[in-house]
Each structure stands twice: as C-alpha cells, then as structure tokens.
Amino acid sequence: RRAAECPSPAAVLAEVIKAFGAPENAQRMEEARDNACNDMGKMLQFLLPVATQIQQDVIKAYGFSSDGEGVLKFARLIKSYESQDPEIASMSGKLKAMFLPPMTLPPHGAGTGGVAAS
C-alpha cells in the first residue's frame, strides 16, 4: 500500500517542522528536554516519544500508518530524497536538530576523560 503521491516529500516535511513549532508541541518538547537534562539515555526515553507522536499526527494525513512503523517509513522516504534535493536535506537536518541533542563526540566515540573499567 503506497502513501498518497499528491504532496511532495518536501511539503510533508515542511508540515512536520511546522508542527514542531506549534506552541503546544514546542512546550511538550521543552518539558521533555528539561526532563532529559542532556542525558542521551533520557533523551531517548523522554524526547523521542514526544517527537515521534508529533510526526505521527502530521504524516498520518498523508497515508502513513499512525504508529512507529509509519514514522520509520517516512524517515526512510525523506532519507532517500536527501541526496537528490538540497531543500529536503536542509529541512531534514533542521528536523533532527529539533529532537536530537547536538552531538559533541570525537570520532569513533572515544570519550575523553572517561573512566576506564578495571
């Protein structure tokens, strides 16, 4: 079963980004971010479900299932367009920045100042 072909992926992505900017969603994201305290594990626990819910509310109108699978399909679709369309790539980056903390990890994830397990 294919999603409705009418709106372009860029249009749907723009709708999703707009939804994150809606006052009630922005507040939900802010609360989740406060609860997570920049802890990556807590980000996944608090922020990701809220972000997923906001996306689901938008993309279900475009034929995606309103569950985690629909969000994954949407994400894969957007990813497939990123290399062909700089606008989509830019919006996708903007969307990720809304619910993923800025990562300041060195390459290969070798954390500095970490305590070695003995």
Q: pLDDT tens for residues 31-82?
A: 999 999 878 888 889 998 999 999 999 999 999 998 889 999 999 999 999 9
Query: What is the Cα 68 distance to its own chain's centre?
Result: 12
Q: Cα Rg for the chain, rounded, in angstroms? A: 16
pLDDT at 38: 79
Distance CA 88, CA 92 (A): 6
Amino acid at position 22, single letter? A
Q: Measured at the alpha carbon of residue 68, what is the angle toward residues 42 and 18, in degrees to the nearest 5?
A: 80
**Domain positions in the chain:** 9-99
Whole-prediction pTM value? Answer: 0.76
Residue 3 pLDDT > 70: no
